[in-house]
Structure 1
Amino acid sequence: MSSLGELRTLALNARKGGVKLKNRFPDNKAGYAFIAPWLVGILVFTIGPMLYSLYLAFTNYNLLQPPHWAGTANFVQMFHDPRLWNSLKVTLIYVGIGVPLQLALALALAILLDRGMRGLGFYRSVFYLPSLLGGSVAVAILWTQVFGKNGLLNSFLAIFGIHNAPGWVSDPNFALGTLIVLHIWTFGSPMVIFLAGLRQVPDMYYEAAQMDGAGAARRFFSITFPLLTPIIFFNLVLQVIFAFQSFTQAYIVSGGTGGPSDSTMFFTLYLYQQAFTQLHMGYASAMAWFLLLIIGGLTALNFWLSRFWVFYDD
């Protein structure tokens, strides 16, 4: 009888141990099955092409013949390509001017919408709409109609007697500026993020500041801005990355040439020309990895600089 009881005790303990072991090492087959499409997608359509482009960066490849190993020739060529460095200069001007102005406008409108005005949802949707359309072909074509020689802007200026206004998109002195304005116009996405951040600032801070006699400017620089620095940093990193990848606007406005006089020749547009116009796919792949290094370096620099101006509310 005692032996039967001991057997039952051993069986019960074994069952409990199995449950504990199962809890420690759960069966993840169902989870893997659900994420399998994503894993296949990222391996086939993202990681695979990236590794293949890295290989092509060290080859001569014209899409018509098999690639031939060229070592570091493509990277050496980049340092002696004046159009590449001009395209990088144009892109840096575009990013350096467009991103700060876009974020400043987005923050100003977010503060305005945070005042609890009527129809907030409507205004938020209207202001967000340009972000959805800013990179589209239709908006780029519309931009040429607005800033063309006979466009809407010049027609408006003619009302006030200004009849010798330039063709803004066809003048090398103003063409890049029109694209910067287009980028600033797509402020909706960072604005919504700023608005969400403003909703997290406790009202008691503003109430205490008002009781101490702090004005609107003082409340902004002493309360709003410091508490929003993590959100500003987040938007800054994202918008810098997105701005470096801008392509459609310059392609449509310039007709794919980067003109006039290469004034709208973005780095991505020059990369496209090398890859699909001149069929220098190996060189274009090297340019793509160079752009990745630039974006990665600037992102790392932003993270390093953030320690001096980003404040986290512990």
Structure 2
Amino acid sequence: MSSGTATAQARVDGAWPRAREPRTSRPGRRDPLALWRSPRRRRDLWVFLLLAGPNVALIVAFCWRPVVQNLQYSTLEWTLGNRTARFVGLGNFVEFFTGEGGRVLWTTLLFTVFTVGGSMLLGLLLALALNRRLVGTTFARSAVFAPFVLSGVGVGLVWVFIFDPTVGVLSNVLGRLHVHMPQWFLQPGPALAMVCIVFVWKNLGYCAVIYLAGLQSVPGDVLEAAALDGAGSWRRFWRITLPLLSPTTFFLLITTILSSLQSFDLIRIMTPLNPGTTTLMYDVYLQAFGGYNRGGYSSALATVLFVILVAVTLLQVRFLERRVHYS
């Protein structure tokens, strides 16, 4: 048998040596380092670390590190300025929830509900009024938003003069109308109502401007089509405008709740010693710097406030976002 014939027979019988196929990974499995082996991926990684690294380091150093340290301090019985501290575990939390915690949390809840609800409701009504093409609308929008950018200390001082029972503007007006003047600065109920009124007045412009931006993004042809179909103004607002404003409402609900829970300056200026306005945020200040100097107990209250803020945000994102219409 010639060599050519033998070669052909070997090809037919399958005895011809096959080239070794390259090994491949199993289907469905990816090499986690394959994306970073290319020079382009490595260059993108270094650029990301160069740009985001300093910001991440600052956030860790000045945001998350204090949170962790505050959690550590909350387990100590520590007086500010003292070099020594005693470990008490959950003793500070037990003292808060079995002592004044109920009253402080109830005051915080009332303050949050009235300020958030009032700011958003009045802000929506004001935005509906400012959404019309009238003379002086631009000036009115600026005037409404101005209190939001003012200092809380300055706003509190002005309103203290307004609510003053002796020389205040409000007492003069109520006296001319023969209306009894409440004891705004002495009684817990009127003091809380006073602070809520000032907080709503200060943050009303923020909610109004955000709602105004949402109203201007509502498609006009949809409203015109609904009007041609016979839908009245109230029905158009309830069935079309309000659902399309749900992303704006969802955003405002989160931001205003967080702002209300962290309110401090107005309470500190207007009612510094009234127990009726002692919210959780203000109690953190009182326990640490208001004469008690209880650093560990104040850290425990700050930890409770941090947990409440995180829980409220997660609950809103988890349940309320389902009702948001983004289209």
- TM-score, normalised relative to structure 1: 0.84
1:305 is displaced (CA, Å) by 3.3
d(CA) in 2 for partners of 1:72 and 1:215? 59
The alpha carbon displacement at 1:61 in A equals 1.4
Q: Which residue number corresponds to residue 187 of structure 1?
A: 204
Deviates more, 1:234-243 or 1:73-82: 73-82
Identify the range of structure 1 (166-175 vs 104-113) with the bigger mean alpha-carbon deviation.
166-175
- Aligned residue for 1:117, secondary structure, equals coil
Contact 1:95 1:243 in 2 (8 A): yes
Correspondences of 1:1-314 after superposition (within 5 Å): 21-27=38-44, 29=46, 32-63=49-80, 64-82=82-100, 84-133=101-150, 136-150=152-166, 151-162=168-179, 164-185=180-201, 186-254=203-271, 256-257=272-273, 259=274, 262-276=275-289, 277-306=291-320, 309-313=323-327
Structure 1 pair 34–24 and aligned structure 2 pair: CA distance change class (3 A): closer
Partners of 2:160 and 2:104 lie apart in 1 by 21
Q: 1:14-63, CA deviations, whole angstroms, 9 ceiling, x for partnerless residues? A: xxxxxx93333325555544445433432222122111111101111112
Distance 1:73 1:138, change over 3 A: same
What residue identity is the alignment partner of 1:140? G
Q: Take 1:41 and 1:24, find their aligned partners in 2: how far apart are those partners?
A: 25
Task: Give the stretch that moved more between structures: 66-75 or 274-283.
Answer: 66-75
What is the number of equivalent residue pairs in this alignment?
287
Question: C-alpha displacement at 1:205, in angstroms?
Answer: 0.7
Instruction: Give the aligned residue type for 1:306.
Output: L
Q: Which residue matches 2:21?
A: none
Contact map agreement 1:74 1:283 (CA 8 A) in 2: yes
Q: Contact conserved, 1:148 with 1:170, CA < 8 A, in 2?
A: no
For 1:132 and 1:85, the matched residues in 2 are separated by 33
Runs of at least 5 residues in structure 1 that lack an aligned partner in the other structure? 1-19
Name the amino acid aligned to 1:188.
G
Amino acid in structure 1 at the alignment position of 2:191: A
Range that drifts further, 62-71 or 100-109: 62-71
Aligned AA (1:147): F
- AA partner of residue 174 (structure 1): P
Q: CA deviation at 1:267?
A: 1.2
Structure 1 letter corresponding to 2:102: W
RMSD (Å) for aligned C-alpha atoms: 2.0
Counterpart AA for 1:104: L
1:175-200 residue CA offsets vs partner (Å, 9 max, x unmatched):
11111111211212222211111121
Given that residues 148 and 167 in structure 1 are in contact (C-alpha distance below 8 angstroms), is that contact kept between their aligned partners in structure 2? Answer: no
Stretch moving more, 217-226 or 37-46: 37-46
TM-superposed CA distance for 1:92, in Å, is: 0.4
2:189 aligned partner, one-letter code: N
The secondary structure found in structure 2 opposite 1:303 is: helix
What runs of 5+ residues in structure 2 fail to find an aligned partner?
1-36
Task: Say which SS state the counterpart of residue 139 (structure 2) adopts.
Answer: helix
Change (3 A) 1:76 1:171: closer
- Structure 1: how far apart are the matches of 2:321 and 2:175? 51
Do the aligned residues in 1 keep the contact of 2:199 with 2:266 (CA within 8 Å)?
A: no
Contact 1:229 1:309 in 2 (8 A): yes
User: How far 1:239 sits from its partner (Å)?
Assistant: 0.6
**Contact residue 106 and residue 187 of structure 1 kept, 8 A:** yes
Alpha-carbon distance in structure 2 between the residues aligned to 1:126 and 1:213: 36
CA distance in 2, matches of 1:29, 1:304: 35
Aligned-pair CA distance for 1:301: 2.6
Q: Matched residues in 2 for 1:117 and 1:99: separation? A: 29
